[in-house]
Amino acid sequence: MKPDSWNFEKAAAKNGFACIAGVDEAGRGPLAGPVVAASVILPSFVSITGLDDSKKLTLSQRDRLYPQIYTHAVSVGIGVIGPYIIDRINILQASLQAMALAVNSLCPRPDYLLIDGNFSIPSALPQQTIIKGDSLSASIAAASVVAKVTRDRLMQKHHQDYPQYEFARHKGYPTKIHKESIRTFGISLIHRRSYKGVREYCTNTRNTEV
Q: What is the CATH number of the domain that holds 87?
A: 3.30.420.10
Number of domains in the chain: 2
Q: Are residues 15 and 51 in the same domain?
A: yes
Provide the whole-model pTM. Answer: 0.94
176-186 pLDDT, tens digit per residue, is 999 999 999 99
Within a domain: 206:
no
Q: Are residues 125 and 174 in the same domain?
A: no
How many helices (H) and strands (E) in the chain?
8, 5
Task: Decide if pLDDT at 206 tops 50.
Answer: no
Contact status, residue 144 vs residue 36, Cβ threshold 8 Å? no
Closest by Cα among 172, 166, 151, 157 to 81: 151
14-69 pLDDT, tens digit per residue, is 999 999 999 999 999 999 999 999 999 999 889 999 999 999 999 999 999 999 99
Q: Are residues 69 and 141 in the same domain?
A: yes
Residue 38 structural domain: 7-156
Computed over every residue of the chain, the mean pLDDT equals: 95
Burial 73-83 (b: 16+ CB within 10 A, else e): bbbbbbbbbeb
Q: Are residues 115 and 167 in the same domain?
A: no
Contact status, residue 114 vs residue 127, Cβ threshold 8 Å? yes
Q: Are residues 112 and 85 in the same domain?
A: yes
Within a domain: 131:
yes
Burial 7-28 (b: 16+ CB within 10 A, else e): ebbeebeeeebeebbbbbbbbe
Within a domain: 74:
yes
Q: Are residues 100 and 171 in the same domain?
A: no
Which pLDDT does position 96 carry in this prediction? Answer: 98
Q: Are residues 112 and 185 in the same domain?
A: no
